[in-house]
Amino acid sequence: MPGRLIKRTWNNIFRTTNDKDDGTTAKDSNQGNQQLFSCIEDNVQTIKNQLGNSTDIVFRRLKIGPKEKYEICIIYTDNLIDTMALQELIVALLNNISEEDLNTVNLASNNLTDVLIEKVVTVGEAVEVEDFNTLITNVLSAQAAILIENQSQAITVSIPGFEKRSIEEPQSATLIKGPRDGFIESIGTNASLLRRRIRSANLWMESKEIGRITKTKVVVAYIKGIANEDVVKEVHERLDRINIDAILESGYIEELIQDETFTPFPTIFNTERPDAVAGKLLEGRVAILVDGSPFVMVVPSLVIEFFQASEDYYMRADISTLLRLLRFFCFFLALIAPSLYIAVLTYHQEMLPTTLLIGLAAQREGVPFPAFMEALMMEVAFEILREAGVRMPRAVGQAMSIVGALVLGQAAVQAGLVSPAMVIVVSLTAIANFCFPSINLATTVRILRFGMMSLAAVFGLVGIMFGLILLCIHLSTLRSFGVPYTTPAAPFILQDQKDVFFRVPWWGMFSRPRLISQTNIIREQNNPTSKPEPQKSEST
């Protein structure tokens, strides 16, 4: 709630500026949305003027038809289209127009474009355009435009052929068992990866363009009949409200459509794995694909999702449950381990065994700083090493992080700046922070850890408990597209506990989450009270 209030106040403060910008943009758009001329030369000159005579825009003039009766001009963007498909298009225009077809052409009614679309253009998707704005947008979107003399209409043909990254295993979500393909920067390829897994006519993909300058293609994908229609409508409304110059990555849209801005917890799930998105679509969620980004957003998102890995559903239920419980333990370890160390050594020494207390006191005898400053220095040093390892070249980044941590920790202990126990606590915390399947949750824990350390330094264990209570209260107030963020724990839904802390076998997961999918709850028709009986072999 505070985040939404601040966001509305911010928008009201800058409303005058935004309205002025929108008016200017609308005026410019109307000026560029003029109708095509019937003269090729006028059309070509107008396009060149609007594109600033860009050198990557190619104009190819041809004469087609018997006795080269008609003059055309093919316009395309170099290195964005398939050259082989372009050659096929040119050959078809030169050879596939007969005298019989031309006898049906009436230039006054502008139906030569219809003849070309129906009988000549056989590659790609051909559409008829009548204005410069649509034509230029299509040309810059890997399409070829065909201008015809004495025709006030043009044809655009989709023949994309730009270079793109090959499909490979995502670097941000690696698995031991599971598929190895991942999303790339091409939205068409990403959509096909979802189609490959969900071969259903109910998988709907609705496209739109966002960004006044970039005109980035965005696809909203969901399964009709399973997804909540109210959530789908809300997604479209939030996307339609976006009024920005450029969308260069999915993070732009995520920040503009999320429910709460000022929270460390991610309220929109991001992943590079097509299998993870397919599984969430089958649960009733909505996916948002952005052209140019390998990360696909999924809404609504729940906090429990960030502890679930795709691998949990490819292994046996007991093994998956054990690993999931381990992640929950690592979450609390990464969140409060340094805080517990600070609180116990500063205020609650009586909680430690005498032998351990004497050993820790001996280690800290020459350390000039209190436990909080000691932990703060080590945590900041580790964050610096981590950031440097990420930004450095991959060949030396990992080696630098490992060697730097070892050398820095050993040198700090020998110099008497920190105690060996503090190095152990910080190292264990850092390792536990890498156990989460989602990098967004790991970042959240890194942020909250410093706040918990501060509370422990001031109030001891009481401060830690106060911080955890505030954390629970904050989580209970969050929502993701109308769905409580802590579902199904709060509100508690008994039927949905089969995939939270524990994962029951697949024969027991007979229903979808109730607050996610409200129209088609039943996932399988097996008897939910008993597992399938194995068939007995008959002896011969």
Which sign, positive or negative, has the C-alpha torsion 341, 346, 349, 350? negative
For residue 428, give the 3-state DSSP assignment.
Answer: helix
Can the peptide bond before residue 491 be classed as cis, meaning omega within 30 degrees of 0?
yes
Token pair, residue 176, equals 């031991």
How far the first Cα of the chain sits from its last, in Å, is 71
Q: Pick from 248, 242, 241, 300: which is nearest to 269 by CA? A: 300
For residue 299, give the 3-state DSSP assignment.
Answer: strand
For residue 146, give the 3-state DSSP assignment.
Answer: strand
Token pair, residue 230, equals 């109210």
What is the distance between the alpha carbons of residues 34 and 42, in angstroms, rounded to a whole number? 12
What is the distance between the alpha carbons of residues 443 and 513, in angstroms, rounded to a whole number? 27
In degrees and rounded to multiples of 5, residue 518 shows phi and psi of -110, 5
Tell me the pTM.
0.83
**526 near 510, Cβ under 8 Å?**
yes
**3 near 260, Cβ under 8 Å?**
yes
468 exposure class (CB count in 10 Å sphere: 0-12, 13-18, 19+):
middle
pLDDT tens digits along 31-64: 447 888 888 899 999 999 988 888 889 999 988 8
Other Cβ atoms less than 10 A from the Cβ of 348: the count is: 13
pLDDT tens digits along 468-523: 999 999 999 999 998 999 988 888 888 888 888 888 888 888 888 877 876 777 77
382 contacts: CB under 8 Å, gap ≥ 6: 405, 426, 430
Token pair, residue 168, equals 């490979």
pLDDT given for residue 462 in this prediction: 94
Where do we find the tokens 């991610």?
266
Other Cβ atoms less than 10 A from the Cβ of 128: the count is: 14
2 exposure class (CB count in 10 Å sphere: 0-12, 13-18, 19+):
exposed
Burial 488-504 (b: 16+ CB within 10 A, else e): bbeeeeeebebbbeebb
249 contacts: CB under 8 Å, gap ≥ 6: 290, 292, 293, 295
Q: What is the mean pLDDT of each run of 10 residues along the chain (540 residues)?
A: 52 44 43 78 91 88 80 89 86 75 56 77 84 90 88 88 83 84 90 92 92 92 91 93 92 91 91 92 93 93 90 90 93 93 90 86 84 89 81 66 70 80 88 87 92 94 94 93 89 85 85 77 62 51
Q: Pick from 53, 55, 35, 70: which is nearest to 146 by CA? A: 70
Which sign, positive or negative, has the C-alpha torsion 242, 244, 250, 251? negative
